[in-house]
Amino acid sequence: MAEPSAPFPAIEPYEHGLLDTGDGHQLYWELCGNPDGIPVVVVHGGPGAGCTPFQRQLFDPARYRVLLFDQRGCGRSLPHASLDNNTTWHLVADIERLRRMLDVERWLVFGGSWGSTLALAYAQAHPEPVAGLVLRGIFTLRRAELLWYYQEGASWLFPDKWERFLRPIPAEERHDMIAAYRRRLAGPADAGQLEAARAWSLWEGETLTLMPSDVLSAQHGGDAFALAFARIENHYFTHAGWLEPDQLLRNVDRIRHIPAVIVQGRWDVATPMRTAWDLHRAWPEARFHLVPDAGHAVTEPGILAALLAATNGFAADGDFRAVAATA
């Protein structure tokens, strides 16, 4: 299978709107590509990052009907940065709500980073409509994964950036950085909250790629983005995603029959390879694609090539099981 190295041209949605969830949220959604094409839902990362125009370019617009949406509280969804009625299981229900709104029987589910977490949770709760899974930068919200990134582990690789992450937190609170940030992010809006939000957001935005990215730094440093991203991520991580320990790995049997491609960067600091490897060991039927010279971001060339190979292969063959076996 040929592995293209560039995404498809930029496109605009042909339809978009807000979906009222009935419990205080309105979800922004958009449809791109071919209205009669293969349905695919894109599950963005974060949580709290929102969907991006670049994600539209990961699918052949002549062959895919692409649904992108902003999860609760982020992007163009309303209310902005809200933590009320905002849990993993609210988001799982939202994906099903969107599927029913579009009258889609079965679709491809595509998710990276936190999007891989939510895609796995959705597929395990609703396996019937999932025709296939494309997962990148695997994250399952286990305690060890959170401690690696927000307590000690990644800090050894990025001590300069970690120092800035520590700055809003007094020394006596640094033994539990997630809890310390929770006290600043979950409370009333003030200058301290925004300072903490920027520090949290930039810690992630500047550790996603092998080489520095001015684009990611600018995105993660913006006030509106940082506030939603930091508040919602910290909210989810404080509650371990409302998942039981190892839940997504233990429940692989519910989705073992679904063809899947797993793409992981060897030098991913945000979601280290150990988790992807654990998923691969639990689910050997899924195609595991290790990119030897990549970090975390979807824009890393090797990761992008592997993802495009998977989506192009499915569109060409119409049989995701065959694609997953050969990707």
Q: Domain of 269: which CATH number?
A: 3.40.50.1820
Domain boundary among 214, 241, 268: 241
- pLDDT confidence of residue 210: 84
CA distance 169 to 181: 8
Query: What's the pLDDT at 4?
Result: 40
Single-letter amino acid, residue 276? A
Q: What pLDDT, on the 0 to 100 scale, is given for residue 2?
A: 36
Asked about 235 being catalytic, the answer comes back as no
Residues 320 and 195 in one domain: no
Catalytic residue among 220, 235, 289, 296: 296
Cβ burial, residue 158 (10 Å; 0-12/13-18/19+): middle
Residue 10 forms part of a structural domain? no
Q: What is the pLDDT of residue 313?
A: 86
One domain, residues 176 and 79: no
Token pair, residue 277, equals: 């490897």
Among 220, 241, 262, the domain-final residue is 241
130 in the same domain as 209: no
Same domain, 168 and 308: no
pLDDT of residue 225: 96
Catalytic residue among 44, 268, 280, 289: 268
Q: Classify residue 5: in a domain, yes or no.
A: no
Identify the pLDDT of residue 12. 98
Q: State the amino acid at position 298 in one-letter form.
A: V
Catalytic pick from 77, 82, 113, 155?
A: 113
At which of 210, 241, 272 does a domain end? 241
User: What is d(CA 54, CA 7) in angstroms, rounded to the nearest whole number?
Assistant: 8
User: 113 with 251, same domain?
Assistant: yes
How big is the chain by its Cα radius of gyration, in Å? Answer: 19
Q: How many domains does the chain have?
A: 2
| Angle between helical axes of 191-205 and 177-185 (0-180°, round to 10) | 140
Instruction: Provide the token pair at 224.
Output: 């509106």
Quick one: pLDDT at residue 1?
A: 31
pLDDT in tens, 87-143: 999 999 999 999 999 999 999 999 999 999 999 999 999 999 999 999 999 999 999
Match 């910290």 to its residue by tokens: 234
pLDDT value for 319? 61
296-327 pLDDT per residue, tens:
999 999 999 999 999 998 888 766 555 445 44
Active site annotation includes 113: yes
Question: Are 119 and 149 within one domain?
Answer: no
25 part of the active site: no
Q: What is the pLDDT of residue 211?
A: 85
Report pLDDT for 191: 82
pTM of the model: 0.94
Positions in the chain whose pLDDT score sits under 70: 1-6, 318-327
Same domain, 172 and 32: no
Q: Which domain range does residue 300 map to?
A: 15-142+242-326
Give me the percent of the chain exceeding a pLDDT of 90.
Answer: 89
